[in-house]
Amino acid sequence: MFRINKLTDYAVVLLVDMARTDKVRAAQQIACDTGVPLPTVAKVMKALVRGNLVISQRGATGGYGLARPACEITVADMIQALEGPVALTACVETTDDACGLETLCPMHGHWNRVNKRVEEALRTVSLAEMASGPIEAFGLPLAERRAALARSLS
């Protein structure tokens, strides 16, 4: 089945952690708290800042925080920040190297309808909902939680 990529998977884990922590933290601290490697945190945060989901504050007490409340960030926003517009097939993605066969192709236009429905579905689930879930997982000893997350994402 079609999958989100590994970096998007990490992004959702980090955003869920940010939603639950709800304070500005340095990338190093986020890496430490979640068990996600620092270079990955840095890469993901860059994409999330670019996608206007996360704000970056400079200075000694700076770091990363959510740009808006978790209930106003959707799964569609998260996936699109990392992967661009919903496009189940290569041919309908907005790209410079369009195949040029749109007028010949009997599929043209139809996949856009499907993509739109999928995007609407992804808009119905918020980060706040993704961050609700089993408290006990977040209450585990840090070392155990970091190891578990690292293993599950490796």
Which residues here bind a second copy, judged by CB under 8 A? 1-5, 9, 12-13, 16-17, 75, 79-80, 83-91, 93, 99, 101, 103-110, 113-114, 117-118, 120-122, 124-125, 129-134, 136-138, 140, 144-145, 148-149, 151-152
Q: In the complex, what is the shortest distance from the CB of residue 117 to a second copy, in angstroms, rounded to a whole number?
A: 4
Answer for the pair 75, 53: CB distance below 8 angstroms, yes or no. no
d(C-alpha 115, C-alpha 103), whole Å: 19
CB 105 within 8 A of CB 91: yes
Nearer to a second copy, 56 or 112 (CB): 112
Dihedral sign for Cα 123, 127, 128, 133, please.
positive
How far apart are CB 49 and a second copy at their closest, in Å? 20
**Which of residues 52 and 89 has its CB atom nearest to a second copy in the complex?**
89
Name which of 57 and 152 has its Cβ closer to a second copy. Answer: 152
As measured in angstroms, the least distance from the Cβ of 56 to a second copy is 24
CB 145 → a second copy: shortest distance, Å?
Answer: 7
- Amino acid letter at 26? A
Amino acid letter, 63: G
Alpha helices in the chain (DSSP H): 6-21, 27-34, 38-50, 75-83, 110-123, 127-131, 135-139, 142-153
- Which of residues 38 and 137 has its CB atom nearest to a second copy in the complex? 137
Q: Which is nearer to a second copy, 54 or 79 (CB)?
A: 79
